[in-house]
Structure 1
Amino acid sequence: MISYNENRTTALIDVAETFGLPEANGLFMEGFLESDHPAIPNIDAGYVFRKEQFRDVYGFLEDPDGDGFYIHGPTGCGKTSLIRQIAARLHWPVQDVTCHGRMELSDLVGQHTLVNGSMQFMYGPLANAVKHGHILILNEIDLVDPSELAGLNGILEGSPLIIASNGGEVITPHEKFRVVATANSNGAGDSSGLYQGVLRQNGAFMDRFSLLEATYPDEEIESFILAKSAGALPEELRQKMISVANEVRRIFIGEADSDISLSVTFSTRTLVRWARKTLRVRSPANPNAIEYALFRSLTARAEEEERIAIHQIAKDIFGDHWA
């Protein structure tokens, strides 16, 4: 087992300069001095922060006021990356957990494990976050049995974490401990049928969270992202890719006037992948580079009918540029 120095020094971070938000000029946020702690996320230099979302996360991280923070929205809209990229720039360690239907509270707390011939208690992500002041991110939290999540109620309110399986160890929450949950639903279950396995969450548990509804980035932001990540691609083609992505998203979430239903959609990451792959395979010998890259980036994992529908949308939007 490798141990790391948790004696981190706090520091004031310039919001406007660090997060690219000039309207926040003169605003500072408490983070930490830069370190090589392995739980600090890597910075994505091309990430673009949206001031409305940042404002809510800023308020929570500065003073959670006894709450957790719950971000819900359609798949691929950047719920987790928002927190990770803020934490990366604040040099704030993150315990990142992907939840599932069989997850139990003990998976988060820790368990005894055989180490060098003897049993030792290995702290889980929740215990580490509580003890050392990390941000605990619970991704896809609405897949977990609500009865298991009820065990977090006291922790969210600031009560000590008591680990009965480790001799009744009591861990008082670090002042920098934060809990962030992400989900496709707002805790009331999934009425759209898009997200299998989503469960309606306990009302008392949900009452312990501040909520943020995340959406896909607007066209201006995605234009900026594509210009930075695939600037060698003509602007006209980049804009058409964004138009395709937005139309697919509208169909996916049921906002488009269409008889088509889709089980896959565009995240900004997928959009960037499409643009970059198009650049890599473009050549006179490959006149179908845009379609080929779309298949490799997204539609290879779609059902045949969905693939045909998405490619038809792209063909209609690209027109003569499609081939």
Structure 2
Amino acid sequence: MTTQLFNVGQTFGVKAPAGLVIEGFSATDHPLIPPATPYVFRQGLAALIAFLRDPAGDAFLLTGPTGSGKTSLVCQVAARLNWPVQSVTCHGRLELSDLVGQFVLIDGSTRFVHGPLAVALREGHLLLLNEIDLMDPAELAGLNDVIEGQPLVIAQNGGEVIRPHPKFRVFATGNSAGAGDTTGLYQGVLRQNLAFLDRFRVLPVGYLEPEVELGVLAGAVPSLPPEVGEKLIAVANEVRRLFVGEGESTAQLTITLSTRTLVRWARLALTFRGAPQPIRFALEQALTARADPDQREAIHRVAADVMGDLWTGSSAA
């Protein structure tokens, strides 16, 4: 694939030195290039671009609460640089061999099919391991040499050797930073091997600032009145503070209102506009129907306090 230089300021819509560029790819038709969507890039962009320019034997871990935009940050950067992404959602039964490849029966014959790690390594794609802290640390330790730039040797395929493409990069996302879940909110999160974690740069990703999130809402739900969007965001931020234990109340919520849920709430509020209490009904559909009764009541109380007449009214507009 032919490479191309992209101006950072123009490509990502951020303030950057005029001559600052990042190398990506010129071809736009690769099926694994993520689709570009409206996106507001944050401070973490600088760290991510620095890593893409020169990983220096590191991988890159984005950590933060659910729905804070960890995966979307990587994918939207890749989309604008035409950089294909091999994306894998990790789980407790995922093994290194699933990433490397395996023999598969095809048209009556057994063939070795390369997995996302092998393809990314060979072709210069980004390998994105989502929810990496759900995977067995003993399996992840097999990535140590590859992250440092060593070739991948596939013993089960006759000792095949794949040398890393100069554009190969490893990203991972997780709700913890690898030290396990101390909150009890993320079931299945495992404490990771220290030697493995030592190979990562780490970027904490929090929720969007209110003014930025308002822009996201305006882009996703343009017919939503700005004053309504501001109140929805105020509710979301109070719920988030309770979720992470920073609210005035001593009670901590076990569900939160992520940006994706916020957008869902806004869309549903407009969908049910004209029905009795559309804001409340939309919030139940978007989030609180899966909360236990006490937490549902607590979130609705927060929403009622913030939304005022909109909470009991018959219109979201």
Q: TM-score, normalised by structure 2?
A: 0.96
Does 1:249 find its partner at 2:243?
A: no
Does 1:33 find its partner at 2:26?
A: yes
Task: Confirm or deny: 8 A CA contact 2:40 2:212 kept in the other structure.
Answer: yes
Cα deviation 1:211-234 (Å, max 9, x = unaligned):
111110111100111122223222
Is 196-205 or 115-124 further displaced after alignment?
Answer: 196-205
Task: Confirm or deny: 8 A CA contact 2:66 2:258 kept in the other structure.
Answer: yes
Letter in 1 for 2:9: A
CA RMSD of superposed structures (Å):
1.2
Does 1:206 find its partner at 2:197?
A: yes
For the residue of structure 2 that corresponds to 1:111, the secondary structure is strand
Task: Decide which of 292, 296, 310 is 1:307's aligned counterpart.
Answer: 296
Does 1:181 find its partner at 2:181?
A: no
Cα deviation 1:162-207 (Å, max 9, x = unaligned):
1111111000010000000111111111111111111111111111
Cα deviation 1:258-281 (Å, max 9, x = unaligned):
233322212211111111221122
Task: Confirm or deny: 8 A CA contact 2:8 2:16 kept in the other structure.
Answer: no
- Hey, what does 1:4 align to over in structure 2? none
Letter in 1 for 2:286: S
Structure 1 residues not aligned, in runs of 5+: 1-7
Q: Distance in 2 between matches of 1:72 and 1:98?
A: 15
Does 1:47 find its partner at 2:39?
A: yes
Q: Structure 2 matches for 1:49-64, cutoff 5 A?
A: 49-50=41-42, 52-64=43-55
Q: Distance in 2 between matches of 1:272 and 1:317?
A: 18
Does 1:192 find its partner at 2:183?
A: yes
Cα deviation 1:50-94 (Å, max 9, x = unaligned):
1x1100000000100100001111111000100000001100000
Shift of 1:208: 0.5
Shift of 1:255: 1.3
Structure 2 residues not aligned, in runs of 5+: 313-317
- Hey, what does 1:164 align to over in structure 2? 155
Q: Distance in 2 between matches of 1:130 and 1:228?
A: 36
Task: Confirm or deny: 8 A CA contact 2:245 2:251 kept in the other structure.
Answer: no
Task: Decide which of 256, 260, 267 is 1:276's aligned counterpart.
Answer: 267
Does 1:78 find its partner at 2:87?
A: no
Letter in 2 for 1:313: V
Shift of 1:24: 4.4
Q: Distance in 2 between matches of 1:169 and 1:275?
A: 52
Is 247-256 or 90-99 further displaced after alignment?
Answer: 247-256
Cα deviation 1:284-308 (Å, max 9, x = unaligned):
xx13111111111112222222222
Shift of 1:30: 0.5
Q: TM-score, normalised by structure 1?
A: 0.94
Q: Distance in 2 between matches of 1:245 and 1:25?
A: 37
Task: Decide which of 297, 311, 321 is 2:286's aligned counterpart.
Answer: 297
Q: Distance in 1 between matches of 2:277 and 2:17?
A: 45
For the residue of structure 1 that corresponds to 2:308, the secondary structure is helix
Q: Structure 2 matches for 1:206-225, cutoff 5 A?
A: 206-225=197-216
Q: Distance in 2 between matches of 1:184 and 1:18?
A: 29
For the residue of structure 2 that corresponds to 1:226, the secondary structure is helix
- Hey, what does 2:144 align to over in structure 1? 153
- Hey, what does 1:18 align to over in structure 2? 11
Q: Distance in 1 between matches of 2:134 and 2:281?
A: 34
- Hey, what does 1:93 align to over in structure 2? 84
Q: Distance in 2 between matches of 1:83 and 1:179?
A: 11
Does 1:322 find its partner at 2:311?
A: yes
Q: Distance in 2 between matches of 1:319 and 1:88?
A: 40
- Calculate percent identity across the aligned residue pairs: 58
- Hey, what does 2:120 align to over in structure 1? 129
Does 1:140 find its partner at 2:131?
A: yes
Residues 118, 176 of structure 1: alpha-carbon distance in 2 compared, 3 angstrom cutoff: same
- Hey, what does 2:315 align to over in structure 1? none
